[in-house]
Amino acid sequence: MGKDSESPKEVSRRDFFKSSAMAVAAGAALGGIGLISKDAAAKEAIPKKWDESYDVVIIGSGFAGFAAAIEAKIAGANVIVIEKMPMHGGNSIINGGDFCAAGTKMQKEAGVQDSPELMLKDMLKAGLYLNHPDLAKIVAYGSKDALEWCETYIGAKFARLNFHGGHSVKRAHQTINASGSELVNKMLSKAREIGVKVQTRTKLERFILNENNRIIGIEAKKNYRFPDENTGTKAFIKASKAVIIASGGFARDINLRKIHDPRLDERFESTNHPGATGEALMAACLARAMDVHMDWIQLGPWTSPDEKGFGYVPLFCERLVGYGPMINPKTGKRFFKETGNRKERADAIILVGTPVLIMGDTYAVKKQVFPNALEKGIENGSIKKFDNLDDLAKAYNIPVAAFKEEIARWNSYVEKKKDPDFECMIFPDAKPMVEPPFYAARLWPKVHHTMGGLVINKDAQVIGFDLKPIAGLYAAGEITGGIHGAVRLGGVAMADCVVFGRIAGKNAVKENSWG
Amino acid sequence: MGKDSESPKEVSRRDFFKSSAMAVAAGAALGGIGLISKDAAAKEAIPKKWDESYDVVIIGSGFAGFAAAIEAKIAGANVIVIEKMPMHGGNSIINGGDFCAAGTKMQKEAGVQDSPELMLKDMLKAGLYLNHPDLAKIVAYGSKDALEWCETYIGAKFARLNFHGGHSVKRAHQTINASGSELVNKMLSKAREIGVKVQTRTKLERFILNENNRIIGIEAKKNYRFPDENTGTKAFIKASKAVIIASGGFARDINLRKIHDPRLDERFESTNHPGATGEALMAACLARAMDVHMDWIQLGPWTSPDEKGFGYVPLFCERLVGYGPMINPKTGKRFFKETGNRKERADAIILVGTPVLIMGDTYAVKKQVFPNALEKGIENGSIKKFDNLDDLAKAYNIPVAAFKEEIARWNSYVEKKKDPDFECMIFPDAKPMVEPPFYAARLWPKVHHTMGGLVINKDAQVIGFDLKPIAGLYAAGEITGGIHGAVRLGGVAMADCVVFGRIAGKNAVKENSWG
């Protein structure tokens, strides 16, 4: 079947004229949804000749992709990592470097009592029990080992323990430079050192299946210049054992977001790098892969409308929850539990309808916030500093009397370490907010993480719409769905990526070569 | 490409041995997920010869399927409706016959002020604004016309106006026999009268695509005896214009449910007919169709494990909330707001982990519960009657002292009309529960409706994972996703099915014949 002599582009064009006006109407109905890839709709054809050939082809160069690449290489495979962007790292290189793990040495030294059971419990609760429990369990129970692998084998350094909302204890092990770059750059070095080929500006166009629906390779574009679809040259890359897809989430794909959560249109910015779009995920689905939980799109409640991207305010905000109050500027009052999980807080802020404040006094800020983050936030104007509460109230147009009354109330809760209003978890070393100067930043949610993605099993095999594993296809990291259910907790992404990236890499090598 | 001489079954078997132990492990990881269709994984092949040929092939014989069939036939097409079950009607024939429509004659006569705007607003609010707003709008604004078409053209009779939770006004027009059978049986008669062929025991096996990914027909099994997959004989049915899929939801498909909401395993029965499984939906996805909102699976919190299907307990339970307590039999205590919404209550019961009780004394039951429902529930053993609270506690193995203390507490709340524990809305005419006999029934949620399904556009064309309409494929009814968002309101299914069924039928005929 199929006419191999016909180029996919021709087929696609003819198709377009056939479906004509109706297709145009359809696009309009879905809010102007376009075409992810010109060739994606064309019938898959097996190339007559492969341009390159590897045992394992890995799509994406973040935590998951490199974890997979390194394990596959160690197991003896010939491995390439392709990356569509001009630089490796994806979101991993811009993340905050917090790696949640349970029962670690650092936790023990800090007197934190934790266990994989407790981490799993936190993940399932936050996930509204939509998590695939077997997969979540693998992350929680594998987190300590994964962290140790990153330290001892990769050589990444972790310097301190952080808390994230929704966790029962402090279990986020932060890299020494407070960025995922510490880990992903060292992964890149290690990968190169052991002989993994890493090639940027190379974009997946489609998966190539044989007559048994086994994945046998990909069509890619080399020398691609994101986001210009007219750049790059076609190349067929053979994967004789497997393809591992680790290309991340779709937080920046407005068309795809609007299908799964029509609210999240152009009005919402994203913390993600510009390449966090969904075309690789869609290519997998066109190759029979099943998607799950796509409508759970996480908003970061700690981002600021006063700076672009992720920015510095999240580092300010997340260090202060449990030490300082969140204030609705319209009322001067608190409105939600500061230590609530991401979804709870984002929904609460959206209900307020206007950016809200997170605050801290000098004691809390000095104790908790990295001087660098504070400085940079002040520099770009997203964090502000005030000598007294009256000035602060005035600057944000807050009703002063109600506000000062609320701060006194907050302070009384901090003294008792108990918040009867919203049950904020107030930390043992928190102090009443009295020591000037006072600091504040405005918060408004940005799209941060997409919980949904490809269905995988415990071996990181991608499950098809026939509910069976797709031979030759593995996935790990944000492109997978099911692990986090409705809500991914802060710091669990790194654990997830490293745990399942390694599983994918190890198992991909076990596949029989198809040719 | 492909080896046409090889039968799909052979390919499938060989595939199985190839993937070997890993596939078995994979199945186990996903909780024993099996194989929806033996042939589904095999590469699509275009048959050399078609066994039957039509302009439009419609899969499913409920409201949506017949609405589509009748419109396609009126527009001049040669139409067949296939149905896998031995009888037509699916869930449509067992539903309660409530058809929501806004601004109707019956509403005006009853003094109900309603509008399509208000109906849309109710749908979007219930749907947590995940609804595709353009599609929801078409249902709300088309509901009155659809109802009139059912009355005047189909000849169905509607007798009274009902209220459903979440709607702002009474807008559910109930059929004269309080069942969807009134409409679907008359649709069947009309379809046959105008020359639509209707064929039961005919099951979709897979869609057949040409080299341009246009749907050109289906492979089916004729003389299929649900649920025995070893029955039936293969037939290739050509659709020269289009296939319309209207095969309903997947509430009875435990494997598929567990992927999208892992809680909903074998412990959960369903109110649906046994054929409400997802293989046709998965077949569409294997043919490149995109799914959406699959994890929004509606549970009825008011069903009983002590009777089959929908039963009588829902009619007992829903009349008693706000008058009597829900009790966790393990503790003897209340555990959640009795007047919470469907989803909240179902989630709370699932967290309890065992069936809970809804109770009422003679005053509440006599005042609230329809005598017929009470009688029937007592008759089938799902509702029980006790002379005193000790006997009741004993019968359900409830810790007596804690239970009686909790009832006294509940009674004190009823007196004050205020529930500080769970903020149950206690109705003004509620009285403390003291008047024997006491009545109780066990509650355990059953799966009632699947909001998710295929992405469609305003023309009822199915959208593919390349975000473009799939040529030759339309869908309507519960198999589609996006219209109801997170929650389908009671009575809106009938409107949705008739509105989009008619749109699908009219547009399918406009497709150019492919051959």
Percentage, residues of chain B above pLDDT 70: 91
Cα(A140)–Cα(A136) distance, integer angstroms = 6
Contacts of A134 in chain B (CB under 8 A): 29, 31
Contact B469 A23 (CB under 8 A): yes
Average pLDDT, chain B: 91
**Which phi and psi angles does B82 have, rounded to 5°?**
-110, 150
- So which residues of A are the catalytic ones? 342
Contacts of B512 in chain A (CB under 8 A): 18
User: Which of A1, A256, A468 is facing B2, going by the closest CB pair?
Assistant: A1
Percentage, residues of chain B above pLDDT 90: 84
User: Which of B25, B463, B471 is facing A459, going by the closest CB pair?
Assistant: B25
Q: What is the pLDDT of residues A143-163, one digit of tens each?
A: 999 999 999 999 999 999 999
Cα(B340)–Cα(B425) distance, integer angstroms = 9
Cα(B265)–Cα(B253) distance, integer angstroms = 10
Please determine, for residue B14, whether its predicted confidence score (pLDDT) is greater than 50. no
Please determine, for residue A26, whether its predicted confidence score (pLDDT) is greater than 60. no
Is the distance from CB of A465 to CB of A399 less than 8 angstroms? no
Token pair recorded at residue B78 = 């040669």
Chains A and B form CB pairs within 8 A to the count of 220
Is the distance from CB of B451 to CB of B424 less than 8 angstroms? no
Between B343 and B506, name the one with better pLDDT. Answer: B506
Contacts of A211 in chain B (CB under 8 A): 1-3, 11, 43
Is the distance from CB of B457 to CB of A25 less than 8 angstroms? yes
**Region B468-478 average pLDDT:** 98
Cα(A404)–Cα(B132) distance, integer angstroms = 44
Please determine, for residue A76, whether its predicted confidence score (pLDDT) is greater than 90. yes
Contact B461 A4 (CB under 8 A): no
**Region B299-318 average pLDDT:** 93
Confidence of residue B340 (pLDDT cuts 50, 70, 90): confident
Q: Does A131 touch chain B (CB under 8 A)?
A: yes
Contact A465 B282 (CB under 8 A): yes
Q: Does A294 touch chain B (CB under 8 A)?
A: yes
Is the distance from CB of B214 to CB of B514 less than 8 angstroms? yes
Q: What is the pLDDT of residues A490-506, one digit of tens each?
A: 999 999 999 999 999 99
Q: Does B9 touch chain A (CB under 8 A)?
A: no
Query: What is A128-184 written as a DSSP string?
Result: TT-S-HHHHHHHHHHHHHHHHHIIIII---EEEEE--TT-SS--EEEETTSSTHHHH
- pTM check: above 0.80: yes
Q: Does B18 touch chain A (CB under 8 A)?
A: yes
Query: What is B416-455 written as a DSSP string?
Result: HT--TTT-----TT---S-SSSEEEEEE--EEEEE--EE-
Q: What are the residues whose beta carbons fall under 8 Å from the beta carbon of B146, sequence distance 6 or more?
A: B101, B495, B498, B499, B502
Please determine, for residue B82, whether its predicted confidence score (pLDDT) is greater than 50. yes
**What's the confidence (pLDDT) of residue A38?**
30
**What's the confidence (pLDDT) of residue B44?**
54
For residue B33, the chain A residue with the least C-alpha distance is: A467
Q: Does A350 touch chain B (CB under 8 A)?
A: no
Q: Does B109 touch chain A (CB under 8 A)?
A: no
Is the distance from CB of B29 to CB of A137 less than 8 angstroms? no
Cα(B458)–Cα(B460) distance, integer angstroms = 5
Q: What is the pLDDT of residues A171-228, one digit of tens each?
A: 999 999 999 999 999 999 999 999 999 999 999 999 999 989 999 999 999 999 999 9
**What's the confidence (pLDDT) of residue A9?**
35
Cα(A132)–Cα(A474) distance, integer angstroms = 17
Cα(A324)–Cα(A338) distance, integer angstroms = 8
Please determine, for residue B171, whether its predicted confidence score (pLDDT) is greater than 90. yes
User: Which of A22, A212, A285 is facing B465, going by the closest CB pair?
Assistant: A285
Q: Does B228 touch chain A (CB under 8 A)?
A: no
Q: What is the pLDDT of residues A306-322, one digit of tens each?
A: 999 889 999 999 999 99
Q: Which of A408, A393, A325 is closest to A360 using CA atoms?
A: A325
Is the distance from CB of A418 to CB of A427 less than 8 angstroms? no
Please determine, for residue B218, whether its predicted confidence score (pLDDT) is greater than 90. yes
Q: Which residue has the tokens 């007197």?
A: A111
Please determine, for residue B504, whether its predicted confidence score (pLDDT) is greater than 60. yes
Is the distance from CB of A431 to CB of A363 less than 8 angstroms? yes
**Region B324-334 average pLDDT:** 98
Contact A3 B211 (CB under 8 A): yes
**What's the confidence (pLDDT) of residue A353?**
86
Contact B459 A129 (CB under 8 A): no
**What's the confidence (pLDDT) of residue A342?**
82
- So which residues of B are the catalytic ones? 342
**What's the confidence (pLDDT) of residue B383?**
98
The sign one gets for the Cα dihedral B493, B496, B500, B505 is: positive
The sign one gets for the Cα dihedral B383, B387, B389, B390 is: negative
User: Which of A26, A510, A512 is facing B457, going by the closest CB pair?
Assistant: A26
Contact B132 A40 (CB under 8 A): no
Query: How many Cα atoms are found within 13 Å in the side-chain-facing hemisphere of B274?
Result: 9
Cα(B359)–Cα(B404) distance, integer angstroms = 13
Q: Does A293 touch chain B (CB under 8 A)?
A: yes
Confidence of residue A420 (pLDDT cuts 50, 70, 90): very high
Burial of A266 (0-12, 13-18, 19+ CB in 10 A): exposed
Please determine, for residue B29, whether its predicted confidence score (pLDDT) is greater than 80. no
* Strand pairing category for A297-300 and A446-450: antiparallel
Contacts of B40 in chain A (CB under 8 A): 465-466
Q: Which of B342, B367, B511, B347 is closest to B429 using CA atoms?
A: B367
Using alpha carbons, list the distances in angstroms from residue A333 to A323, A336, A384.
Answer: 16, 10, 19
Q: Does B41 touch chain A (CB under 8 A)?
A: yes
**What's the confidence (pLDDT) of residue A102?**
98
Reported ipTM: the value is 0.87
Q: Which of A379, A377, A374, A398 is closest to A326 using CA atoms?
A: A398
Contact A26 B292 (CB under 8 A): no
Helix B492-508 to helix B63-74 angle, to the nearest 10 degrees?
A: 30
Confidence of residue B515 (pLDDT cuts 50, 70, 90): confident
Is the distance from CB of A127 to CB of A135 less than 8 angstroms? no
* Strand pairing category for B197-199 and B203-209: unpaired
R_g (Cα) of chain B, nearest Å: 25
Contact B455 A261 (CB under 8 A): no
Average pLDDT, chain A: 91
Please determine, for residue B482, whether its predicted confidence score (pLDDT) is greater than 80. yes
Please determine, for residue A11, whether its predicted confidence score (pLDDT) is greater than 60. no
Contact A30 B466 (CB under 8 A): no
Q: Which residue has the tokens 């995922």?
A: A180
Q: Which residue has the tokens 């190539």?
A: A208
